[in-house]
Structure 1
């Protein structure tokens, strides 16, 4: 494993870079790239305000992936899942068919490792470099250039990728070959969502307890976690926007993929499977579009409880 700080890298200044995916985190990534002096190219996005922010800061907007590909030497992907990554990269109008030879595609999506390996093989046929570089932390930290990147690539490509990642990442960790970054991200996210399921039920169990006191107690011991602290802040109405990922996305992109990965290797994960069932129950209750801390509310609860 190789870990590097962005302060040690020469940065992305002057590079002609593409960005596909102007969601909340993708917009933050794009703003950091622009702030570091990159020439940024994005695809038209009619559904969100992210593209408007980026073009307002000087990004160049294109109407197709093929058009964007002709203007860049590297592309950062920040998309919902592997399905969207495959749609963007493959086919006669996709990135792979139109990027210049030796271009780099950095997939910062939480993608599925098997898909990543297949895409890397397709990229190689076009003389391109495809690496996995999923990121952790929030959209706000993306805009501040303070994400963490978990990189799967060969040794020769990693330094090239790190120069791009340094514009929006505080820590860049090379964890192995292609696919290892996405595998480790799924392990990380599965652990996070497993903790979230336990924290949610602990908060429900503490219904007659002063939650602020419980938080103070937990903060002094090994049980302490950022997930629990955010749940408590939400339930005490201190931080209504805590952990803003939706329950549906957390289930689909994180814990469900983690259980699937385990099943493919015949590994038994009964605790994670039980946590995944917690998410499925919330989806069945119609909570899919609510944020993660709503796991801690029972079906009869409507509002966070006050101090």
Structure 2
């Protein structure tokens, strides 16, 4: 077993599999749970130690992973009398796998550095399925020496690791990736509903596009819901997507750029969230677009489906 003590805050859809793989690769693990006890209790049964606070984890562990929903949650884990910074000591490394606001990342990195620690941003690509398999994508922001030091740890839960650049680069790259994916989602939803409206069912759209050069992995999972109605195929909520698109647009504003498509995608997801469907998963945006246009996409999906 490795002597490096690993902490993990946020053992939800993605974090549970990542934490499990760290233990399976021989790292002693400390975890901090949230409201959902199921993944926490499972990891404790497998040998993890539960702590009561982020401060306790920082006082105990050499490396802490964060896998949370947004930057306010990351900031809360860092600050306050029971936060990471209160227990941080020289040499502590915090790996934030959250899809976060790069502006917040820069500030937290400075605050941790003042305590002698190092902040690494390593947001994730792929889904909970790959998290459980230990084959996630990771886009990493940190200096070269830190990357070399943490690479064996990243290898436990990631199959495709890219060192993007200095701290903050990973979070910026992840926002670019999610801009593409949520742009795809908006486009695919409109295409699927438009097709249904003019007599081309979702199954036929999937057949034609899925066998052409326009296909991709995101199209496959998106259309698996749109046609087969598999709710579990892409477990990423509309609320999280809306948050990411807000961060994308803020990043563009900070860079002084005009980004029409980013703004349009943001409004799409903001509208769905405001309608009370933020807990739905991203492919379900097709149903929302259908409702706006008077179409029942459940019924449309059944047409022509094998």
- Matched with 1:19 is 8
Q: Write out per-residue CA displacement over residues 43-88 of structure 1, whole angstroms, 9 at most, x where no aligned residue.
A: 2434331101110100001112222222211101101111111111
| Residue 262 of structure 1 pairs with residue 257 of structure 2 | no
Asked if the contact 1:25–1:78 (Cα under 8 Å) also holds between the matched residues in 2, the reply is yes
Give the superposition deviation at 1:135.
1.0
SS of the equivalent of 1:156 reads helix
1:97 aligned counterpart, secondary structure: helix
Aligned partner of 2:96 in structure 1 is 107
Which residue number in structure 2 is paired with residue 249 of structure 1?
Answer: 240
Task: Give the aligned partner of residue 204 of structure 2.
Answer: 213
1:5 corresponds to: none
**Secondary structure at 1:262's aligned position in 2?**
helix
Q: In the alignment, what sits opposite 1:39?
A: 28
1:288 is aligned to 2:283? no
Greater relative CO (CA pairs within 8 A, separation 6+): 1
- Deviation digits for residues 208-251 of structure 1, max 9, x if unmatched? 21433322221233321323222321122252322221212111
- Greater displacement, 44-53 / 160-169: 44-53
Q: 1:14 to 1:216 in 2, by over 3 A?
A: farther
Which residue is equivalent to 2:231?
A: 240
Shift of 1:188: 0.5
Which segments of 5 or more consecutive residues in structure 2 lack a partner in the other structure? none
Deviation at 1:261, TM superposition (A): 1.0
- 1:303 paired with 2:301, answer no
Aligned to 1:123: 112
Runs of 4+ in 1 over 4 A off after TM superposition: none
User: SS of the residue aligned with 1:236?
Assistant: helix
Q: What's the RMSD between the two structures over aligned residues?
A: 1.7
Q: Structure 1 pair 287/157, CA: closer, same or farther in 2 (3 Å)?
A: same
Q: Is residue 163 of structure 2 the alignment partner of residue 168 of structure 1?
A: no
Q: Which residue of 1 aligns with 2:213?
A: 222
> Alignment partner for residue 196 of structure 1, among 185, 191, 195?
185
Number of aligned residue pairs: give it: 295
SS of the equivalent of 2:144 reads coil
For structure 1, the residue ranges without an aligned partner over 5 or more in a row are 1-11
TM score, norm. by length of structure 2: 0.91
After TM superposition, the score normalised by the length of structure 1 is: 0.91
